[in-house]
Structure 1
Amino acid sequence: MAKLSARRLITAASLPAMVAATLTALPSPANALSADVVVSAVYGGGGNSGATIKNDFIELANLTASPISVEGWSVQYASAAGAVFQMTALHGSIPAGGRYLVQQAAGAAGTLSLPTPDATGSIPMSATSGVVALVTNTIPLVGCGISCSTAPNVKDLVGYGATANVETLAAPGLTNTTAGARSGSLVDTDNNSVDFTSGVPKATNTAGTTVTATDDPDGGPTGPTPGSTRIHDIQGSGRISPIVGQSVTNVPGIVTAVRTTGSSRGYWMQDPTADADPLTSEGIFVFTGSTSPAVAIGDSVLTTGRVTEYRPAAGAQALTELGGPIATSKLSSGNALPAPIPVSFPDTFTKTGSLEAQPLEPSSYVLDWLEVHEGMRVTVAQDTRLISPVDTEFGELWVTLKPTQNQTPRGGSAYVSYDDPNSGRLMLQALDGAPAANVGSTLAAGSVGVVDYQSFGGYVIQTTTLGTITDGGLKRQKVTPPKKTGDLSIATYNVENLTAGDSDAKFARLAEAVVVNLGKPDILALEEIQDNNGTVNDGVVAADQTVAKFIAAIVAAGGPTYDWRSINPNDGTDGGAPGGNIRQVFLFNPARTTFVDRAGGDANTAVSVLKVRPTSNQIYLSASPGRINPTSSAWSTSRKPLVGEFLYDGDKQLFVVANHFNSKGGDYPLTAAVQPPARSSETQRTSQATEVRNFVADLAAKSGNTARVVVLGDINDYQFSPTLATLTDNGALLKPLINDLPVNERYSYVFDGNSQTLDHILISPTIKGYSYGVVHINAEFSDQASDHDPQIIRILTGCGSEPLPDRCRPGSPVVDVP
């Protein structure tokens, strides 16, 4: 299972419901969307009765991170019913992310001048209805009728009010005191009715100077006043806002944090004057899409927008926020921030049932405590221990507020059952980045941030201040002591989408793990070996170059020259990264073990168990390597098990089944809106487990229960899951070796701060003497060669009969504990 990162994507689902519905119901736009320069505002009431601003204007916006020249371009205007366009030529350029102001005709009234315009015309625009086109030349538009948006060289077009010359539908009609402005994210959907809203006229030039109709003509702001709605009114005393879907005006708050990167930009604000209800949050996120907000921490603002509930993933809870077209008025800067509230978790993670239908009980449940503080400033007022490595790409880390809760010997929090998700876990994301650090490191008290909710991690503290991290001294493990002559070592390792095009450094790191940390296993089952050109989706399925490069890296690291066996999948059928065609591969040391080759194994042929003679217990595979029932629906878009027959210690027969079951994609997060979370992916894994169990049962039955079998790989499920119960026949058919370890040591992967088991080695009862361990070299470290830790079993010589020598007894150590 490759790591999933919790990122917000801007889709129709994240737009206001009314907007999303409009986008769905309407036909496809007729013109290409403008991704660089758009018309951002139009105003035709300048100087009219009641107007404050003296001139009509047209404003353009550069959506890119580079300046764009408009030399030789023009803006053109026509009346609502007219076919004749008047033109104003443009010159110069628009700065990166900036605006460009075109001043038009003045009226007799008004008290405010526009900022210094970047281009000047004399067009008297209608205050109510009209058409404005941005054209990449200076040739007047002629003969395009009501379809000028599709005319040659038209970059963008806005029809407002009672006109049919539009992109899809017209923008709202305007007045002497209202202008049409593109929404806060400046997105161009080629639907004027969606992209534009009417509001207070506001104009900005390339120098960044802004004039708003509410400004004082003597140079100072008139001081817009707060509206009647406060943040606690929006948040309400439940999980869903009582006014969701409504627009709110001039909601007051102090900016407490700002996010200026990614596609989920915006700011958090908090009301410094709380109400008397402890269940109503005083903080909220203001979503500005891909546009960075023009605010800073400490600004006192009034925000106008639409109350939305953003649900970042299927089954997730919703984040109450202000979205849609956002208008922000800054009143002052440098204000004191509301005091952060110390994070204090109750004992129980959450209640059962639909959380959104139940009252909030923050003193009893962790998820309720976080919900009532959604959007507010909080602080981690105690030293805490990292229970995940820092993801330096996204500045993410997990700590525990309950240090003794299922503590692993290496500092993590073991995930021991569905009923115990570790209620002390807390995710932090450093808005300014975080340094690399491993599990067991210490985060000093003093981190401060705002409570957010996102995809996989659920609730997260977006930190504006991150405490100092002190390294915990975690070391990578090695297999010890060396294996004895006659012992057979078998390992499983998910190498995370390895392909021939990966760097030499990645191959060297993985090879070092095989040679040094795993002690040169005799058989190595690899998961996530991609084809030779990785995610290039061109029909290539062979992985010989990938495997050869890996074997060469192992030799260079001091290891043996492994031989290998695998079966190429059919193109695009086995899941994983599109085009990558991941599969399992056996590496084996021919000086230590023999692979028994039998022809006939391919992507579509099912391997079967055959008897040498009907009355004999001697068995063999119809094909080696082979695949277990590959055409079964259980393996739809998932990896098919790879089966091989080996000989070791003379003529001892061993059957090895390498697996990579389907991922947990589609399962609801631990913080899901309905508890316990749904685990929809489990259904397919249970079917896969049934296929493998039936095959192993056939090996056992036809051999008279003498077959030695090792089933291993990335099962993508926990030791306490229905998948493992099915695969092992509740322990009667196969023994899961992870259960030999103490409960708090049963893990090979870290996700959402939980140290958990996804990888497994299982053995038949016929294997009597062995040692086993998980070799922790990746999952707990920021610097990873893979996101999984490998596991290893040694089948020990001289352990075939009772009484077993001490070294043959289950649980004998196989890894050091530095």
Structure 2
Amino acid sequence: MPISRVSISFFFAAFLLAGALPGCTPSALSDAEPVSIRQVQGTGPRSPMVGAEVVVEGVVTGSFPGRGGLFIQSPPGEEDGDPRASSGLFLTPGSAELPQVGTGRRVRVRGEVVELGGEGPTLTALRVAEFQELAGGDPEPVLPVLIREAPGLPAGPAGPSPTVPEWVDGWERFEGMLVRVEAPLTVTGHSALQRFGEVITSFDGRLFQPTELHPPGPDAEVRAARNAAARLVLDDGSLEQWPSEVAYLPGWPGHDAPFRSGTVLGPVTGIVDVRRGDYLLLPTEPVTERTPLPRPPPPQVEGALRIAVLNVENLFNGDGQGGGFPTPRGAGTWEQYQLQQAKLVATLQALDVQVAALAEVENDGAGPETAIAQFAEALNQAGPARDWRAIEVAEGPGSDAIRVGILYRADRVSPVGSPVYPEDPIFSWGSRPPLGQAFVLDGGDPWLVVANHLKSKGGCPEGDHPRATPGDFDLGDGQACWNAHRVAAARALADWLDADPAGIGGENVLLVGDLNSYGQEDPIRLLNTRGWADAFAASERPYSYVFQGEAGRLDHVLIRASRASRLRGAAIWHSNADEFTGFG
């Protein structure tokens, strides 16, 4: 049964007509010899009949005012033409508006063949000049085409393959058609679900950022092509923003029904659409078969000294006295700040660590009214541990609105010496200055913990940017913008640590935090060549972040290779990255 959004859409059309539109000549339209929809579609990425005026006939499979039209399809037994071509077609208003027509009704239309869209795949459509609903009895069913694997995705393991060209536009032959995807679809991204009713899914399980798995180059390009072939976006077909409910996911998401990346959806029936260079599936029925990805418990890691690495996502506390909201980058109200801080407190409580390295905490000096000091106090008030302290630096380090920070449990570890940070000018803009503090546990050897936050991949330079080098522009290799800056910062960081800034011998060092670089990108590989080992090297495809439906690690834990044997374990708690963003 069609979902309510599609059914309701029929009642809000501009005209409530049962037959032809005013101004049409039904007899002339009826006498015209129609061409098949497959002839209009052709087997290539664009129709061979673009610009031609044609008459076609088909059965309505769905009306989507939010898409500006409706879809028709050749009924079974009438699909004349090359079977490799689509038998579905989108109708959009031209000199004639589109009337209200129910699903299953047969129509005949005249119009100009056009391609809708810009770069990438486009949608073949008919710009309607005349429209006629043909007389008939009961609606004619159009059976969906069954899809059991991603069109064009090569079978076999998910590793690189040299057959990239064969993957391109595998959905073209189903464009505009009613299909039923029977292969399991893994949810890989839902950042647009709350606002636009969109979910990114994959035929290939969880998708990973190409440069998380491969260095920039041919293998990463193959991975990107495979990801594109495996990807399918589900869309509610509505223009409404911030819908109270997504019609094809009734009851989801909710606090009692989490909708996490990694959730697997059962059969999905809908119409294949193309928008913004992406193939979409507009579900015409609710998706009722779902296998949620459970929320994982906090990981248990062996070892005496346990350290957490946490991006606190712009933790700003206003003026520190309950006012000063909205803040420049963080919470808009006192209540939002309290909620944000409570979630961070719960996270650290569950991890049972002695040291926490933070990124994106407000750079508001020192003292009890700073954001980091009040975070430590909130941890102490929540308990059970009540010995949290913040490493204080009088100013900065750095002049950015945010900085890195370090918290520690004073009853468990003791700071050794003063905090340290580099004076290299690369950290005066873009990348925040690293902050290091040595700690000792139970009279053992001191370990230096260095918190980091390198420049982000966004905010790309334009034109003659005074701070950008040629390598800072997006070179299309998967590393996005400001890569040269991050490489320079990584080199400066390695040089600084080689000089043993804390005076503890230079080997017992943990380099942690948000390096804004995926696992095989230039900054990480540079640090690897300088003697820094990945704490997650033995893990199977670790990830800490999901962006545009692809997982990877921007957050890292690196240890001196000479000390890697002393590492007892490392784990990532997916308490946030997979969650629906509407939960805050």
TM over 0.5: same fold?
yes
CA–CA distance in 2 between the matches of 1:254 and 1:568?
A: 66
- Given that residues 645 and 656 in structure 1 are in contact (C-alpha distance below 8 angstroms), is that contact kept between their aligned partners in structure 2? yes
Aligned partner letter, 2:415? T
Corresponding residue number in structure 2 for 1:659: 453
Q: 1:777 to 1:251 in 2, by over 3 A?
A: same
Distance apart, 1:640 and its partner CA: 3.1
CA distance in 1, matches of 2:380, 2:99: 54
Residue in 1 that maps onto 2:270 = 449
> Partner of 2:79: helix, strand, or coil?
coil
Q: Following superposition of structure 1 onto structure 2, how do residues 303-702 of structure 1 map, counting pairs within 5 Å? A: 304=111, 307-311=114-118, 317-322=120-125, 329-332=131-134, 335-343=139-147, 344-345=149-150, 347-348=153-154, 365=167, 367-382=168-183, 386=187, 392-393=193-194, 394-399=196-201, 401=203, 416-417=213-214, 418=220, 419-420=222-223, 421=226, 424-431=230-237, 432-434=247-249, 435-436=252-253, 437-439=259-261, 441-445=263-267, 447-455=268-276, 458-472=278-292, 474-480=294-300, 484=304, 487-493=305-311, 495=313, 498-499=330-331, 501=333, 502=336, 504-516=338-350, 518-527=351-360, 529=361, 547=372, 550-551=375-376, 553-558=378-383, 560=386, 561-563=388-390, 567=396, 583-591=403-411, 592-594=413-415, 621=421, 629-631=426-428, 635=430, 639-649=431-441, 652=446, 654-663=448-457, 678-679=476-477, 681-682=479-480, 684-701=482-499
Q: 1:407 to 1:329 in 2, by over 3 A?
A: closer
Query: Which has the larger helix fraction?
Result: 2
Cα deviation, 1:155-208, whole Å, max 9, x if unaligned, reads: xxxxxxxxxxxxxxxxxxxxxxxxxxxxxxxxxxxxxxxxxxxxxxxxx7xx99
Structure 1's unaligned 5+ residue stretches are 1-95, 100-203, 356-363, 533-542, 575-580, 599-619, 667-676, 787-818
Whether contact under 8 Å (2:265, 2:291) holds in the other structure is: no
Q: Check the 8 A contact 2:508/2:563 in 1, yes or no.
A: yes
Contact 1:479–1:775 (CA<8 Å) still a contact in 2? yes
Q: Deviations over 1:1-41 (max 9, x none)?
A: xxxxxxxxxxxxxxxxxxxxxxxxxxxxxxxxxxxxxxxxx
Contact kept? 1:659, 1:711, Cα under 8 Å: no
- Matching of residue 239 in structure 1 with residue 35 in structure 2: no
Q: Indicate conservation of the 8 Å contact 1:310/1:319, yes or no.
A: yes
1:478 deviates by 0.9
| Residue identity opposite 2:510 in structure 1 | V
Q: 2:528 aligns with which of 728, 748, 755?
A: 728
SS of alignment partner, residue 508 of structure 1: helix
Report the Cα distance in structure 2 between the residues aligned to 1:586 and 1:249, rounded to whole angstroms: 69
- What's the CA shift string for 1:729-766, capped at 9, x where partnerless? 3xx42112222313xx4222335554433322122235
* 1:470 Cα deviation after fit: 3.7
Change in Cα spacing, 1:347 to 1:250, as seen in structure 2 (3 Å) is closer
In 1, distance between residues paired with 2:80 and 2:303?
68
In structure 2, the residue corresponding to 1:693 is in which secondary structure? helix
Partners of 1:452 and 1:375 lie apart in 2 by 6
**Does residue 255 of structure 1 match 2:60?**
yes
C-alpha contact (below 8 Å) 2:47/2:124 kept by paired residues: no
Larger radius of gyration: 1
Compute the displacement of 1:656 (Å): 0.7
Alpha-carbon contact 2:52-2:113 (below 8 Å) kept: yes
Is the partner of 2:284 in helix, strand or coil?
A: strand
> What pairs with 1:276-295 in structure 2 (closer than 5 Å)?
276-286=81-91, 294-295=100-101
Say which SS state the counterpart of residue 720 (structure 1) adopts. Answer: coil
Question: Structure 1: which amino acid aligns with 2:174?
Answer: H
Amino acid at match of 2:63: V
Contact 2:447 2:509 in 1 (8 A): no
Q: Output the CA distance in 1 between the equivalents of 2:346 and 2:74.
A: 55
Separation of aligned partners in 2, 1:525 and 1:292: 56
Distance 1:583 1:326 in 2: 57
TM-score with structure 2 length normalisation? 0.68
- Root-mean-square deviation (CA, aligned residues, Å) is 4.7
Partner Cα distance (2:47, 2:24) in 1: 33
For 1:283 and 1:530, the matched residues in 2 are separated by 54
- Percent sequence identity is 19
Secondary structure of 2:426's aligned partner: coil
> Is the partner of 2:279 in helix, strand or coil?
strand
Counterparts of residues 709-748 of structure 1 (less than 5 Å): 709-729=509-529, 732-742=530-540, 745-748=541-544
Task: Single out whichever of 424-433 and 683-692 deviates more from structure 2.
Answer: 424-433
Deviations 1:317-354 (A, max 9, x none): 2222438x765624159642432211133552899799
Distance 1:247 1:494 in 2: 57
Kept after mapping to 2: 8 A contact 1:664/1:681: no
Aligned residues: 491
Aligned equivalents of 2:163 and 2:392: distance in 1? 49
Query: What CA distance in whole angstroms lies between the structure 1 residues aligned with 2:397 and 2:13?
Result: 52
The Cα of 1:694 is off from its aligned counterpart by 2.9
> Partner of 2:467 in structure 1?
none
What amino acid maps onto 1:259 in structure 2? Answer: F
Could you give the per-residue CA deviations for residues 633-678 of structure 1, whole angstroms, max 9, x where no partner exists?
xx3xxx4343333443368361514124423688xxxxxxxxxx93
CA shift, 1:683, in A, is 5.6
1:449 CA drift (Å): 0.9
In the alignment, the residues of structure 2 paired with residue 593 and residue 374 of structure 1 have an alpha-carbon distance, to the nearest angstrom, of 64
**After the TM superposition, which residues 192-203 of structure 1 pair with which residues of structure 2 at under 5 Å, given as runs?**
none
Does structure 1 conserve the Cα–Cα contact (< 8 Å) formed by 2:391 and 2:406?
yes
Deviation at 1:378, TM superposition (A): 1.3
Name the CA distance, whole Å, in 1 between partners of 2:576 and 2:98.
36
Counterpart CA distance in 2 for 1:659 and 1:371 is 43
Contact 2:24 2:131 in 1 (8 A): no
Read off the aligned partner of 2:432 and give its amino acid letter. K
**CA deviation after TM superposition for structure 1 residue 375, in Å:** 1.8
Asked whether the 8 Å contact 1:697–1:733 carries over to 2, the reply is no
Q: Is the 8 A contact 1:778 1:785 kept in 2?
A: no
Deviation at 1:781, TM superposition (A): 3.5
- The one-letter code matched in structure 2 to 1:381 is E
Q: Distance in 2 between matches of 1:665 and 1:303?
A: 47
Task: Give, in whole Å, the separation in 1 of the partners of 2:340 and 2:287.
Answer: 32
Distance 2:24 2:98 in 1: 23
* Higher RCO, Cα 8 Å, sep 6+: 2
Post-superposition offset of 1:700: 0.9
Q: 1:255 to 1:493 in 2, by over 3 A?
A: same
Alignment of 1:78-89 (within 5 A): none
Aligned to 2:580: 782
Cα-to-partner distance string for 1:684-730 (whole Å, 9 max, x where unaligned): 2243123222321232146797254333333344323334213433x
The one-letter code of the counterpart of 1:652 is: P
> Per the alignment, in what secondary structure is the counterpart of residue 537 of structure 2?
helix
Match of 1:75 in 2: none
Asked whether the equivalents of residues 509 and 785 of structure 1 are also in contact (C-alpha less than 8 Å), the reply is: no
